[in-house]
Structure 1
Amino acid sequence: MLRGVRSVRQGKVFTCGEVIGHPDGDPLWPGRAPARREMTVDKDSYVRGDMAPLPGGAEFADDRIDMFLQGSTQFDALGHVWYDDQLWNGYPASGTVGGLRKASILPVAQRGVVGRGILLDMATYMGKPYLEKGDLFGLEDLLDCAKRQGVTIEKHDILCLRLGFLQLLRVQGPELFYQDFLEPGLTYSPELVDWFYEMEIPCLSTDTISNETELDPAIGVQIPLHCALMRNLGVTFNEVCNFEALAQDSQADGQWDFLYAAAPLKVAEAAGAPVNVLAIK
């Protein structure tokens, strides 16, 4: 954390959370419904006579939201994905029935995730404004991108990757964006997993929904990094970030490291929770 604090040199603050309930649509994993926000009290409540002004004349507005906890910028719980009937740390998968009694989002939320963040602009590195379906990269690309940006990835850094893919939702519209949906991104390799282990990377954060390409074409396995990094190593996954403003500023001033600070909502027994990530330079 103190290395992250030492990265604060300019006093610039960037919020990297997506807008929940965006009028042009939320970036969602296919099959999840968008957030629905509704007013429960507003001026019409008083006009209709459903509500009376408070003593002294004050009135107020109130609203509620119905959403998937992983339906916007969010953290996965360590128990979100498993295989062989075991979660992270060997907890039984049966402990997820009705709610995650182990490895839920709550311990992450209670502690928060704070440290030195490193942003790697993978889209720019690959010569594109944003990556598209089928664009893949691996460990060598990560290291080469960092070298080109002139930044050194150190032990315990929080790795943030800008792909720009979710910006296509605004450019293309939902129908084309979700057609034959396949996110670009990081692909599995034993070398990549070993590097995460040796570098003790605590958190992988990207501006995609899955933090990896969903079906790895080389091995034919779906979400292998969720299994190899999250389930096996305990790497937290922060997904659906918006790094556009941060990347533009970093391209301009050449500073790619920052204080990363995030605390997902404290939801008991949940498999994930929304978060608004702060990047402070």
Structure 2
Amino acid sequence: MSETKSVADLLANAPSNWGRWGEDDEVGALNYLTPAEVLRGVSHIRSGTVFTLQRLIGDPNGDPVWPGREPATRTMLMDEATWDSPDAPKFPGGLHYADDKIEAFLQGSTQYDALGHVWYDGKIWNGYDARTTIGGLDKASVAPIAERGVVGRGVLLDMARFRGKDNLDKGETFDHTDLQECARAQGVTIEPHDVLVIRTNFLKLFYEQGEKFYQDFREPGLTYSPELVQWFADREIPNLVTDTIANETTYEPETGIALPLHCALMRNLGVTLTELCDVEKLAASCAEDGQYTFLYVAAPLKVHRATGSPVNPLAIK
């Protein structure tokens, strides 16, 4: 392990997109997804088959979350038993109804990160002062992403199947060269402005192991290198979508730094990160018919000043 002490040291010479879309920009690399890119994505629809990529909230088998967060809890407020009471509301015609609510981390399920979610050196995306996050994100919250929506050509990169595994292992890493080799094996080329959807199937272990899953927590995923970050910059990737909790390997192997790609890609390049997707049905379909490209569509909830938001992305083949 090297002597690098901070993410600021690690990324001292990293590329940046600050100011590229103006000093007031809050959606970053999603600016690459122009109307022409939407139409490019539409051109990859062959059968009209729709795959939803959200994990079930309140799954009886458990909801995986980042350590320290808790799964959503749903509370039933009204049901048929409510109407047994003589004090129950009465509506003309005899209407009864059910009502419930959830209490949840906004990033406790399949979700989009706001660009202001992670930072270092007192600056978030586009150079905004980190103190704009106090009490809620005044800048680079999830709301501008939600208002804009995300539509473009998606490419599934099935790293687990490419490596001949049911799932990647704890702490297993891969980089941009591996992504390109995976794409080549699938018969597809990663093109500029593609939304990258990566399958590890690592969360299979959560459903098999329960709480033991969190012992020595180290997810597999992309790992930092200057070359990888430059590759994302050169390819102008707008959105990284994965089936893991945090998009990248939890700790960078050479330095031990936690989640450096959140800083290099999201904070510096404005790449939007989407986490905790369920891509198993999509992956099975792609493996069966050999079509790994599709129209990707997502719109997180419009939550004022929020650091992230639940989402149910669509892949349309």
Shared fold per TM-score greater than 0.5: yes
Which of 247, 254, 258 is the equivalent residue of 2:294? 258
2: CA distance, partners of 1:66 / 1:190: 40
Shift of 1:117: 0.2
**Which whole-Å CA distance do the structure 1 matches of 2:92 and 2:204 have between them?**
48
Which whole-Å CA distance do the structure 2 matches of 1:268 and 1:143 have between them? 37
Instruction: Give the CA deviation at 1:179.
Output: 1.4
Structure 1 match to 2:174: 137
Q: Which residue of 2 aligns with 1:204?
A: 240
Among 60, 81, 84, the residue aligned to 1:44:
81
SS at match of 2:203: helix
CA offset at residue 139 of structure 1?
1.3
* Aligned partners of 2:137 and 2:306 also within 8 Å: yes
| SS of alignment partner, residue 216 of structure 1 | coil
CA offsets per residue over residues 63-90 of structure 1, 9 Å max, x none? Answer: 1000000000000000000000000000
The Cα shift of 1:127 comes to 1.5
- Note the C-alpha offset of 1:39: 1.0
Amino acid at match of 1:147: R
**What's the counterpart of residue 43 of structure 2?**
6
State the identity %. 60
Give the letter for the 1:137 counterpart. Answer: F
User: What amino acid maps onto 1:185 in structure 2?
Assistant: G
Aligned to 2:106: 69
What is the distance in 2 between the residues matched to 1:16 and 1:54?
A: 39
Matched, 1:19 2:65: no
The reply on whether 1:31 has 2:59 as its aligned counterpart is no
In 2 relative to 1, CA 46–213 (structure 1 residues): closer, same or farther, beyond 3 Å?
A: same
1:50 Cα deviation after fit: 4.1
1:223-262 alignment, distance < 5 Å:
223-262=259-298
Letter in 2 for 1:213: T
Tell me if 1:272 matches 2:308: yes
Deviation at residue 168 of structure 1 after TM alignment: 1.4
Deviation, 1:196, is 0.6
The answer for unaligned runs of 5 or more in structure 2 is 1-37
> Aligned with 2:198: secondary structure?
strand
Unaligned ranges ≥5, structure 1: none
The aligned residue for residue 89 of structure 1 is 126
Q: Deviations over 1:191-220 (max 9, x none)?
A: 111111111100000000100011111132
Q: Give the aligned residue type for 2:248.
A: E
Distance 2:86 2:270 in 1: 54
Hey, which bits of structure 1, 4+ residues long, moved more than 4 A?
Answer: none
Q: What is the aligned partner in structure 2 of residue 55 from structure 1?
A: 92
Distance in 2, matches of 1:46 and 1:156, equals 54
Q: Among 184, 193, 200, which residue is 2:220 paired with?
A: 184
Q: Deviations over 1:152-172 (max 9, x none)?
A: 111100000000011211122
SS at match of 2:105: coil
Question: How much does 1:2 deviate?
Answer: 0.9
TM-score normalised to structure 2 length: 0.87
How many pairs align? 280
Say what the alpha-carbon RMSD is for the aligned residues.
Answer: 0.8
In the TM superposition, 1:160-175 aligns within 5 A as 160-172=197-209, 174-175=210-211
Separation in structure 2 between the aligned mates of residue 261 and residue 203 of structure 1, nearest angstrom: 11
Maintained 8 Å contact 2:171/2:250: no
